[in-house]
Structures are given as structure tokens and as C-alpha cells.
Structure 1
Amino acid sequence: MISTRNTIAGTDAVADAARAIPHEIYLGPDGDAVEPVISRSTTWRHLRSLDLRPNQRVLMIGTGSGYAAALIAHIVGPGGRILTIDNDHALTTRACDLFAAHGHRATAATGNPLNGHPGGGPYDRIFVPGTPASIPAAWIDQLARGGVLVTGAVVSDLPGADAVAHITKTPADGLVATVHADRYPLIEPPVVPAHVVTVTAVDDFRYWLASASDDYQTVTDYLRTVRAGTLEAWPVGPSEFLDFKHWLLARRPRGLFTAVTEHGEGIGIGDRAPSTFGLATRSDGPPEVAMVTPTHVVADPPLSLTRARLLDLIADWRAEGARATHELDAVVLHDSDAYRVRLDD
């Protein structure tokens, strides 16, 4: 196997660790090679966002191959501690064997990751390369004051609205969050609240549309209509799609929906056209929808007022400097035994 020890640029602690620890030690071949859920470059980027330092106590939710934990162990040094928690005993056993074989000061324990590991806390850093339905209170409780939690987070009540949250616990036990336009795999299915209606295409269950509308028939009509929509290239590159999507989730325009159709993942708005020419109300006419995907605007009818309204929203976003996700306001809400991150305009 060709070594990739020197594929990371930089002179920071993460780059030093990546050069010191060949990733193939943890990714195989040993008969039990583990396919990483996120790329090495993503791991490096988010370890950098943790601002790891010597002597810190770190908890990682999910063991995976053990590679990320080994990097963390190298950075925090002999005075620090890195513990991973995973419900897969085979993964934790494999990782522990590899840690011992290569002299990496990391530990893997078997347990429920959603409960964290209170015996080793409080932690200066908690790293969760996955997205839970909501952030367990246990993770926040086990975070030290001044500590940082990096985790996937559901940032809206609408399905498909996940990102990566960077949460800092203040000295007064407050929580300050910044959201980034990255994604981690789902740890558990998100809970869709009762006020959100989700419909699935009867001919293909892969396709769905979700809206806060309380009218099931309207949401059903939106899905049918957007699937038949006309495509046109939109003036934003694929890399900016998530930034605009998150801005739209924060703005919450009338008729907002998320969807997955033949046209791809999308976010858009829907309405109903007047049923009579010149009638002011837009409540009982045929549906109008306009949706943005990473590559297109999808609209039906192709020249509707709803399409024009979506293009106006794109123009507003551009006028604000095409704000990136991390430039949006984010709030952390305490909800019973969990926390939620929401974007605000």
C-alpha cells in the first residue's frame, strides 16, 4: 500500500500528527479494515476547528477506525487524555488493540454514545463526527466550562436540514454556537415535529417533500408539481448551495419546504395561484412551486410569481454578501433532556 503520510499541508498540531501517524495503520489491511464515514481531509479540518492543545481531556463519540483518536492522542500528549465511546464492541476492541500495538495513548470503551462517558469528564473537547436527532444533554453536561463541542446538528424542524455545529460552553455555563456548511452521517433518524407535514411520492418512496403547512393536500400538490417542474441553471455554484439553503432556513419565507426529487436535494417555496383572474387572495388556486438544488432552479409554472419570489430571495442573499452558513446567527435551545441548534436571520 502506498503511504499517504505526507498529504496534509501545514505546520500546525494536526498536520504534525497526520504526518506522524500513517492512516493505513487504522484503515487496514488487517482483515477488519474500517471504512471511514468521513474523509481524512474532513477529519483534519474538524480536528483543527477543535483547537486541540496539550494536556486536554477529549471525548470522541463513535470510535470508527480509531484514526481520529490516535491523532488527538498525539496532539494532547502524555498529559492529556482521549477516550472514544461506541456501541460496537468489535470496533472498540479493534481500536484498543491498535492503540496498544502502536503506542498511541488513546482508549476506546463500549457503551451508549448518546450518554457520553461521565466517568472521564468534564472534557475540554467533545468531537462527534455524526448527527444525532438532537444534542443529548449528557454531552453538554460533560463539557467543561470553556470547552468546545463539535457535532453534527439538525438546524431546522424541516427534514434534511443538518450541518456541523461548533458549540462553546462559557464560564457562566452559557452556550455559544456557530454553524458550518458541512455534514456528518446521521446517528439516528431526526424527529419530525407534529407541525411539519411530510409526504412521500406514491410511485417512488425515495422522493419526498416537507413543509410546515397544516394542509396535507397542499403539501402533496407541491411534491407533484415540483417533480414536473422546468429546470433552469441558477446563478450560484454547487458549493454555495448549502450556504443559501441555511440562509433560507434562517429567513423562513412563506411556504418554505425541503424536498428530495428526481431533480436532487432542494429547498424552495410554494403557494397557490389565484383561482380567478384578478382575485387578490392566493389560497385556493392551482399550486405554484419554485425550488433550488445544487445545480438548478426548478419551477412550475415556469414563469410564476412564486418563481419570481424565489429569485428575489436569491438576490437578497447576494445583496447581503452571499452570507456563508458560519456568518448566520445560531442559537442553542434547551429542550427537556436535549439541546437543539437553530439558525436565525
Structure 2
Amino acid sequence: MGDKTNVTAALAAVDEDYYTLRPDGNLVTQSTAASAIAELLERLDVWAGMRVLEVGTGSGFSGALLSELVGPAGSVVSVDVVAELTTRARDLHESQGRTNVALITGDGALGAPGKGDFDRVVAWTTPSLLPRAWVEQAAPDAVIVTPVELAPSVRSAAILRARVDPELGPEGVELFAGRYVEMHDVELEQWLVPPRGVDALVRSDEGLDLWISAPWVGRDGEAARGLLKVLADEGTTRAGVLEAGESAVDLTAYLYARHPEEISVVGLGGPLWGVGYADPEGVAVFTAADTGSALHSGASGALERLSVWVEDWRQTGRPGYPDLSPVLTREDEGWRVRAELAGDERA
């Protein structure tokens, strides 16, 4: 973790409302809470004089904080696929005299060709892999902080901190809870259905989109659509699965490490979605709002399987994110990231 004092000073120097509110008083959609930004920037450990690549310009607020952290001798390059956001942020930075921030409109997965080498890379959007371009544009010993998917299913994400070894490439340092919207190479017209990774989708009579992302769907897409139709017709039932004091966040971290190929992520209509288990007969998932209960629909087997996973987690000592280590594997377009549970002989 970096020096919290630096980030606190940057927060005090930047007017958050100036960046995150539009002239009519509405919040910029692509805004992130200041506390969440601060946590990532502390882990990024930015110092004066550094060169930083930011992927996901958003409101421009995070770029302004980075501008303060790197100071006049440093520089920030911020990339976003939405031209309106980069143009707006450029105007806001210029009006505040922030001349050390450059804005690029483009695919964030490509980084900022020709602008490196970067001492730090931070992303506010979730790729499926750690992109090769970010590593190639990083300086030796650079730090990368980004959300990344930990399983084949979309939205199975956590935030990775990695260091770039000049000889070995990126090496995972830690994983912690958090995620942002999926990385995409075109401007989105909607945010409720992921722009990639959805294996089956059904629209309910009420006009809600229900979807599923899971490895098994590729083998039986028709069955997956049938499951979603049952979900649309019957809805979900809430079932108590966790005991008082048990954390669904910790359990999910454990599932990423132990069952990445079996996890299903299910969109339940509108902004609601959950992580858990599904098969052609039923579904049982935890949503972000769940504390001790799961939502299930269809046959009881899915809930029973999820309950078995919960009991295994208890027997393992209820591990969470602090007990995970990131494992990076080279692929053509970057590095696949998976979670390893400390002391797990099966990892």
C-alpha cells in the first residue's frame, strides 16, 4: 500500500463536484465514488515525477487526482473509448490549469502507443485478460492496478495489483474485492447487459433482459435459454445460506479460487445479477446486495450445490481475498489471471 497522505492531499486539492456533476446538476454516469478511487490510488502508489497511464477517463476526477500526485514534473495519459468523455475531461483540466494530463479517444486495451514507458498503469474498466499492450508500454518495475476477470464467466472480477519485472513480465502481487464495467472497444448504448461474455439471453414479458455467462452454456445453449425462461416466468426465491457474521464477499473470493470453471453469473433483470451455481435445471446465486441469503429458481439441485460449496468454505476456514494470490498465465492477447488459495495443494 502506498502513502495515504499523498492521496488525501490530492483529494483536498481537487473539486470533486466540478468534475462529476454536469451543468444541470446531474452526475456523470461514468463516475466512481471518491472513496473507491482513493483505495485504488493508494495501492497504485504514485509519486511526483511519474508517468501514468489511466484507462477509463470517466468524469475526469480520477485523472485530476493523478495530475496532483505526479506533479508538474510528471504526466498522465488518460484513454477512453467515449469521445464525449475525453473532450469534456480535456476542457475541464485545461480550465483548471492541469497541463500534465493528455487525453486520447480510443480502445483502452491498446493503451497509449508511443506514449510510454509508464511507471504506473491504472484501469477503471474490467478486461478479461491483463492486456499485453499495457505491459509492453510499462517501464521496468512498473505497478499495474486493474480489475480483471478471475473465471471464464463475465463479471467474475476482482482487482489485481501486479508488478512488471523487466525479465519475467508481470507478476501478481495481490487481489482485492472490486470491479468496474466490462472493457469494450465501442461506445455503449446500455449498461445492464455486459457488452461481452454473455452466453444466453432471454427477454421477459416485462421487457427485462435475463442472461447467463457460464462455461457449460457453450455445450447446451438451448437448455440455458430454457432456464432463463423459467427464471423470467417464476422469478426467484430467497434462501438463507450463510450464518450470521459470514461474508458473501469472502465466499465469492473462495469460489473464484476453487471453482472458477463451475461458476455461473446470471443477470436477473435490470441491474440485478449474481454469482453462484447454475445448470439447465436451476440457479442459485448471491447478488451484491445479499448478505446471508441467495436467490434461487428452478430445481433445488442448484441451491444444494451452492450449499455444498458453502460448507467446504467453512471447513477451509472461511478464507477471503487476503488469502488469495494471483496467478498469471501468458496468452496471445495478454495474461490470464486466476486466483490461488494459500496452501491449496490443488492450485
Pick one of 139, 164, 170 that aligns with 1:169: 164
TM superposition shift of 1:301: 7.2
Q: Which moved more, 1:331-340 or 1:287-296?
A: 287-296
- Aligned mates of 1:30, 1:262 — CA distance in 2: 32
Does the CA-based 8 Å contact 1:163-1:184 persist in structure 2? Answer: no
- Which among 323, 328, 341 is matched to residue 327 of structure 1? 323
Asked if the contact 1:63/1:108 (under 8 Å) is kept, the reply is no
User: Alignment partner of 1:168: what SS?
Assistant: strand
Q: How does 1:124-135 map to 2 (within 5 A)?
A: 124-135=119-130
Superposition deviation, residue 318 in structure 1: 2.7
Q: State the secondary structure of the residue aligned to 1:64.
A: coil
- AA of the residue aligned to 1:74: E
Change (3 A) 1:321 1:144: farther
8 Å contact kept, 1:299–1:307: yes
Question: 2:50 aligned with 1:56, yes or no?
Answer: yes
CA distance in 1, matches of 2:244, 2:78: 37
Deviation, structure 1 residue 93: 3.9
Aligned partners of 1:32 and 1:291: how far apart in 2? 36
Partners of 2:160 and 2:326 within 8 A in 1: no
1:9-57 Cα shifts (integer Å, max 9, x gaps) = x961000111122223323565798614211111111111101112211
Structure 2 counterpart of 1:6: none
Task: Give the corresponding residue for 2:145.
Answer: 150
**Does the CA contact (< 8 Å) of 1:70 and 1:106 recur in 2?**
no
* 1:198 alignment counterpart: 200
Distance 1:262 1:32 in 2: 29
Match of 1:79, SS state, is: coil
Contact 2:227 2:298 in 1 (8 A): no
Distance 2:260 2:20 in 1: 45
Structure 1 unaligned residues grouped into runs of 5+ = 1-9, 273-286
Q: Is the 8 A contact 2:86 2:105 kept in 1?
A: no
Q: Secondary structure at the match of 1:98?
A: helix
Distance (whole Å) between structure 1 residues aligned to residue 67 and residue 303 of structure 2: 52
Residue of structure 1 in register with 2:247 after alignment:
240
- SS of alignment partner, residue 114 of structure 2: helix
Matching residue of 1:249? 256
Per-residue CA shift, 1:219-243, capped at 9, x if unaligned?
3454456655542223267993343
Would the aligned equivalents of 1:55 and 1:80 in 2 still touch at CA under 8 Å?
A: yes
C-alpha separation in 2, matches of 1:124 and 1:166:
13
Please, which moves more after superposition, 246-255 or 115-124?
246-255
Q: How many residues align?
A: 318
Give the match for residue 274 of structure 2.
266
Q: 1:73 to 1:236 in 2, by over 3 A?
A: farther
Task: Tell me, yes or no, if the aligned pair for 1:198 and 1:211 is still in contact at 8 Å.
Answer: no
Task: Provide the C-alpha distance between the structure 1 equivalents of 2:125 and 2:13, rounded to a whole number of angstroms.
Answer: 26
Query: For 1:158-214, what per-residue CA distance to the aligned partner results, in whole angstroms no more than 9, with x for missing partners?
Result: 13322322222124233222332212122325543xxx9535366455222343222
Task: Determine the structure 1 residue equivalent to 2:37.
Answer: 43
Corresponding residue number in structure 2 for 1:186: 182
Normalising by structure 1, report the TM-score. Answer: 0.77
Contact 2:152–2:261 (CA under 8 A) maintained in structure 1 = no
- Structure whose alpha-carbon radius of gyration is higher: 1
Among 13, 17, 22, the alignment partner of 1:24 is 17
In structure 2, the partner of 1:104 is 98
Residue identity matched to 1:216? G
Of 308, 312, 324, the residue aligned with 2:308 is 312
Task: State the distance in 2 between where 1:29 and 1:229 align.
Answer: 38
Alpha-carbon separation, structure 1, partners of 2:137 and 2:225: 43
The residue type equivalent to 1:339 in the other structure is W
Preserved CA contact (<8 Å) 1:137 1:338:
yes
Q: Which amino acid aligns with 1:266?
A: G
User: What is the CA-CA distance between 1:298 and the residue it aligns to?
Assistant: 3.9
Segments of 5+ residues of structure 2 without an aligned counterpart are 185-193, 342-347
